[in-house]
Structure 1
């Protein structure tokens, strides 16, 4: 019965759309329009009334970081003591974690129970469910909530994330929240490192339409050398220049978890990180072992990095055991290959 009701509602909206005439604007009228300057939930990170994706691999602290963002916004304080925020009430839709785990994480970061943060936990919310949309929008309206965090895309999407048309429909529905004056932050997973081509945006799992649809994309990666260091990068910011990559340290005590801004990441290190990802991808996709010269050319074709940077990245991968090398038997040329996965 509910599905029939939803279908009738969709048909009604389609008919309303068909009967409404388009409103075109002349160039002269456009020049005369005045728009406010860019407005931010968190400056240079999360545009107000837009959609931001925060992505990362499993255990990369992406949910922790979004909770930290939510706390800063709820207080109207600077995120990481650096990025200004606009104070607002927040709804966190968590379809990933049990409330017990949500409580544990929030208390480890801030024990203030009076913050204007509300939770909708494991209720089976789906973005494309019109009835569920209306319920959440009503909650936001009744409580004066202007920002919604969603964990995660895969849990609130009942379509194939690899199909562009499906994801286009998903984001059309999600943008209804933005039209209602609500800022959306969506957590999403990244591809396995060997399957991403190095560019930050290509790490997002699923259709490329996901990146195309959002206003900002922030990626979080855990350092291979130190599990307590996170690198935060931005592949897209529709309304401004992307921020430079920076590092965060994670420190645990018995009762608390602290996140500290360490400063911008040296550009050369960021290039090396991209080079490593492309090297691993090239070796994984190749049916044969690759000569070092071939690897250097492959990386140069994907990223604007010099030979020296590629060779340093390859040397570090070999040292870590992620890539193996041997002599090809031809003029002492070295060839590289991936280690055989253990059973």
Structure 2
């Protein structure tokens, strides 16, 4: 949207004209569309500049880097394809020109093993993209990640962390909700309120933070906060609200990640970006294909976590890792009790079983309302985020178990129906009082 608005302004359009045009473009081109007030803010920002000014050149302005708590030099092995000029290394002779050629021996002489901020998930001076549908509980995980890094504790009792300061940029949360969640997490980690509040975690909540100025440089005010905090981890939640660019424009996304990579090297920090997923379709269930925006986003990060399932039993798929093998799927269980929330890790076999059971329950529930042909069943599954292949596999299982069968319908169509084994099955026992109380308690928590 910012690029489109900039083009209109350079051609002499007024703020009102730009706002009217990009409001229409937002609804037609963005999935999901940005809020109207955010679109109006883009138009107002661009409207301050004179026509024919260059609003988004690919440039970079950085102040002097700090010496933070991890190390003073970039981690060897960091991909350098995002940096225009690579300095000579080792005893290599100075070369003239824009690029610096290296031999394999040069690379070997300067090799260091990957060092992790969060073991197997986020390397030091790396980018982790956490993606999921709205409301699934990503912000709970953001706060958990911040707490374990700030304390140096392991994540979920499974992944070791390196301790350091954290800067949280939260553009969709309010202070009260953040504090309430933190109090629950403190209790789950057995931290007092005083101990938790004293941790080196700094927050920018609903500050309208922008990564990039209209001139195409990194925002100096954000750089100032990073210099002062010296964080080992910077969290941007959600990512789309802090850059103001067109996520479907590969050129803009590539330029943005060029800036972020240089920011990381100079400021010696890792990034956690919170992103949204498109709904599953019959064509793809792959997390990387479902990421909102250009494929340059997935290509530019070091690690991707897809968050699925439901809060309480989150199915996490580690679908990409540039440093080592991706871990595949695992489960994050959460329990709320007496004002405390505790998260725990369970292995991939359990996660796959949870996913399988969700689809089976969906099929049995929808067929209890009446027979459905294949196309209607696929369509209903698509609305719930289940792909065709997964529904087919579940139907085959249910037919083998004689819970579902096929009958010939009108015009020789195939209808799926429930068998007598399901129809005549007794109703499940009523919920006990303790379960009801637990359900009410859980519903009070806002995701």
Per the TM superposition, whether the score is higher than 0.5 is: yes
Partner in structure 2 of residue 260 of structure 1: 344
Q: CA RMSD in A?
A: 3.9
Partner in structure 2 of residue 149 of structure 1: 235
Partner in structure 2 of residue 171 of structure 1: 257
Partner in structure 1 of residue 323 of structure 2: 239
Partner in structure 1 of residue 291 of structure 2: 204
Q: CA deviation at 1:314?
A: 4.0
1:122 equivalent to 2:206? Answer yes
- Distance in 1 (alpha carbons) for counterparts of 2:255 and 2:358: 32
Query: What residue ranges of structure 2 are gaps of 5+ in the alignment?
Result: 1-46, 62-83, 86-95, 187-192, 364-372, 380-386, 400-405, 418-447
Pick the aligned partner of 1:249 from 333, 336, 341.
333
Query: What residue ranges of structure 1 are gaps of 5+ in the alignment?
Result: 280-288, 296-302, 319-324, 337-343
Pick the aligned partner of 2:278 from 191, 199, 208.
191
Q: CA deviation at 1:10?
A: 5.9
Aligned length: 302
1:80 equivalent to 2:166? Answer no
| Matched residue SS, 1:103 | helix
Residue-by-residue CA offset, 1:225-274 (whole Å, 9 max, x unaligned)? xx521111111111110113111212212422221223333586488599
TM-score by length of 1: 0.74
TM-score by length of 2: 0.58
1:66 equivalent to 2:142? Answer yes
> Judging changes above 3 Å, is the alpha-carbon distance between structure 1 residues 28 and 59 closer, same or farther for their aligned structure 2 residues?
closer
Partner in structure 1 of residue 425 of structure 2: none
- Distance in 2 (alpha carbons) for counterparts of 1:107 and 1:316: 44
Q: CA deviation at 1:196?
A: 7.0
Q: CA deviation at 1:55?
A: 0.9
- Distance in 2 (alpha carbons) for counterparts of 1:159 and 1:75: 34
> Judging changes above 3 Å, is the alpha-carbon distance between structure 1 residues 213 and 32 closer, same or farther for their aligned structure 2 residues?
closer
Q: Answer with 1 or 2: which has the greater Rg.
A: 2
> Judging changes above 3 Å, is the alpha-carbon distance between structure 1 residues 157 and 316 closer, same or farther for their aligned structure 2 residues?
farther
